[in-house]
C-alpha cells in the first residue's frame, strides 16, 4: 500500500469516527429532551391539545415542542420537547403564559401516562 493511500484511509477512518460521536457528546452542555403522555377527560383530548399548543409561543431555550394525538387512545396525547438545557425547561414552567395554560388545562387532565427524559443528539 502506498504512503498516500494509507494517509487517505487514515483520514477517512478519522472522519467516520468523528461522525460516530453523538452531537450532544461533542457539545459542552447536552440538550434535554422530554417525551410524555397526558390523558384528558373523555372527549376532551382536542381541547387539551389546543390549550397546550397555544402555550408554545415564546419559551426561551425551547428548540422543539410537538403535541400529537395518541393513535391507540382517543383520550391521550404525547408531548415531545427538545430544550437547549434542563434548566431552560425548568424555567419555562415559571413563565406566565405556561402557568396560565397549565391552570386552564388542569380541569380536563385525567392523568399522566409514560414519561421519558432523553438526551437529543440529532434531528431537524
Residue 56's pLDDT is 67
- Residue 22 has which C-alpha cell? 453523538
Question: Over 90: is that where the pLDDT of 47 sits?
Answer: yes
DSSP 10-53: HHHHHHHHHHHS-HHHHSSS--EEEEEEEEESTT-HHHHHHHHH
Residue 16's pLDDT is 44
Question: Over 90: is that where the pLDDT of 120 sits?
Answer: yes
The answer for residues whose C-beta is within 8 angstroms of residue 18's C-beta and 6 or more apart is none
Instruction: Please give the mean pLDDT across all residues of the chain.
Output: 83
**pTM of this structure:** 0.73
Q: Which of 93, 85, 91 is nearest to 55 (CA)?
A: 93
Residue 64's pLDDT is 92
Residue 114's pLDDT is 96
- Angle between the 96-105 and 45-54 helix axes, to the nearest 10 degrees? 170
Cα–Cα distance for residue pair 2/80, rounded to 1 Å: 51
Architecture of domain 29-118: 2-Layer Sandwich (3.30)
Amino acid at each position: 500500500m502506498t504512503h498516500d493511500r494509507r494517509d487517505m484511509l487514515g483520514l477517512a477512518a478519522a472522519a467516520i469516527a468523528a461522525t460516530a460521536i453523538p452531537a450532544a457528546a461533542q457539545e459542552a452542555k447536552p440538550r434535554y429532551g422530554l417525551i410524555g403522555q397526558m390523558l384528558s377527560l373523555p372527549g376532551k383530548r382536542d381541547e387539551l391539545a389546543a390549550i397546550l399548543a397555544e402555550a408554545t409561543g415564546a419559551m426561551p431555550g425551547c428548540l422543539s415542542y410537538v403535541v400529537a394525538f395518541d393513535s391507540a387512545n382517543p383520550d391521550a396525547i404525547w408531548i415531545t420537547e427538545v430544550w437547549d438545557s434542563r434548566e431552560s425547561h425548568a424555567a419555562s414552567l415559571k413563565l406566565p403564559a405556561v402557568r396560565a395554560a397549565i391552570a386552564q388545562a388542569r380541569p380536563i387532565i385525567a392523568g399522566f401516562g409514560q414519561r421519558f427524559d432523553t438526551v437529543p443528539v440529532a434531528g431537524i
